[in-house]
């Protein structure tokens, strides 16, 4: 079995940027594009409509189109692709072994860029409107500034720091932001709660306590949320033009848990930031799989660059490149 210099697991902004840099450094990378995280290769941007905040696209670009450009650029420099999930790993000995449904691959170095997935409510209309660009999103920083949301009533679901932070960001654009929480008090930190109640006093945000979303209403665009009171079970409709779900993310680390060190939320630990080294020599982590703070395409791409450079230097130190 031939031994690959570098194998990259994942084909979002981090994985494909790592592939571009590695290919240009003559590492001849092999990318497992994957299917499990969302069902299609390309990462979360494959289910995003217009991307306005990635540098170099002054008029914006559709998420799938941008990821296709990433892939074509990586292929141009010789990156090879396997459109399968890695299902088994053996990092206990070198070369490392990676197994998919139809391939058994040995590798001197590995970059893990499997990303993370947003946690959703699980409502059919929520998914439909999120995938069609109908006003449902899991990232206010990504989508909140879009023209469709400006001067409109918007809703954020959640009660932690992320929900308050996203709601605070949306007040720059919205006519009002409703924060919908299933309890009658926030889980957010004290400083974030203080920020929230300042915005409430200013009329920019409004809490909707003891409420859960039972349906998202609207055919092509969101028109309202059907809310159920958690104490009385009564329902009412709240007219909004945008819904931002802020109930956390889950890193796609099921494959490596118990093999690579992860934190209590499942994100891969990088012991010596800003490097991308993991606790296993020759294994690197890039993108949202190790980033629970920023979770942006541009930061994922940046860490993919870092992982490729780290892998190149590590291989050179081993006399492998």
Choose, from 85, 143, 237, 261, the residue flagged as catalytic.
143
Q: Please give the Cα distance from 151 to 153 (Å, whole number).
A: 7
Structure tokens of 249? Answer: 């993310």
DSSP secondary-structure letter at 198?
H
Question: Angle at CA 194, nearest 5°, toward 189 and 199?
Answer: 125
Alpha helix ranges (H) inside the chain: 13-24, 63-76, 124-131, 140-143, 161-170, 190-201, 297-317
Choose, from 139, 262, 288, 310, the residue flagged as catalytic.
139
Question: What is the dihedral angle through the alpha carbons of 287, 289, 292, 295, rounded to the nearest 10 degrees?
Answer: 40
**Is 184 known to be catalytic?**
no
**Is 215 known to be catalytic?**
no
**Sheet bearing 153-157, strands edge to edge:** 136-137, 242-245, 153-157, 176-180, 205-208
Question: Angle at CA 9, nearest 5°, toward 6 and 11?
Answer: 110
Choose, from 59, 90, 101, 142, the residue flagged as catalytic.
142
- Strand 104-112 to strand 283-285: parallel, antiparallel, or no bridges (unpaired)? parallel
Location of structure tokens 């889950």 = 250
3-state secondary structure of 148: helix
Residue 35 in contact with residue 85, Cβ under 8 Å?
A: yes
Residue 245 in contact with residue 118, Cβ under 8 Å?
A: yes
**Is 142 known to be catalytic?**
yes
CA-wise closest residue to 309 among 43, 317, 143: 317
Rg (CA), the chain: 21
- Strand 136-137 to strand 242-245: parallel, antiparallel, or no bridges (unpaired)? parallel
Q: Which residues are catalytic?
A: 139, 142-143
């Amino acid at each position: 079995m031939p031994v690959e210099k570098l194998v990259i697991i994942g084909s979002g902004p981090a994985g494909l940027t790592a592939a571009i840099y590695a290919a240009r450094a003559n590492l001849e990378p092999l990318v497992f594009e994957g299917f499990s995280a969302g069902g299609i290769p390309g990462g979360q941007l494959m289910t995003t409509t217009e991307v306005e905040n990635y540098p170099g696209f002054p008029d914006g670009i559709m998420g799938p189109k941008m990821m296709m450009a990433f892939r074509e650029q990586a292929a141009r420099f010789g990156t090879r692709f396997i459109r399968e999930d890695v299902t088994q790993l053996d990092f206990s000995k070198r070369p490392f072994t990676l197994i998919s449904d139809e391939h058994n691959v040995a590798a001197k170095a590995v970059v893990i860029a499997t990303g993370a997935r947003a946690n959703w409510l699980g409502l059919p209309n929520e998914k439909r409107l999120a995938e069609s660009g109908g006003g449902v999103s899991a990232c206010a920083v990504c989508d909140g500034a879009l023209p469709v949301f400006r001067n409109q009533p918007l809703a954020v679901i959640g009660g932690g720091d992320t929900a308050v932070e996203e709601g605070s960001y949306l007040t720059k654009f919205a006519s009002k932001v409703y924060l919908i929480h299933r309890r009658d008090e926030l889980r957010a930190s004290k400083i974030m709660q203080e920020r929230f109640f300042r915005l409430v006093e200013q009329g920019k945000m409004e809490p909707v306590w003891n409420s859960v979303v039972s349906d998202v209403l609207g055919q092509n665009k969101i028109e309202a949320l059907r809310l159920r009171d958690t104490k009385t079970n009564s329902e009412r409709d709240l007219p909004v033009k945008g819904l931002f779900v802020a109930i956390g993310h889950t890193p796609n680390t099921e494959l490596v848990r118990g093999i690579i060190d992860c934190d209590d939320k499942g994100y891969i630990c990088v012991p010596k930031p800003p490097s991308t080294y993991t606790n296993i020599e020759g294994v690197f982590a890039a993108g949202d799989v190790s980033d629970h703070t920023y979770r942006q395409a541009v930061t994922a791409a940046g860490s993919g660059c870092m992982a490729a450079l780290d892998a190149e230097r590590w291989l050179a130190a081993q006399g492998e490149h």
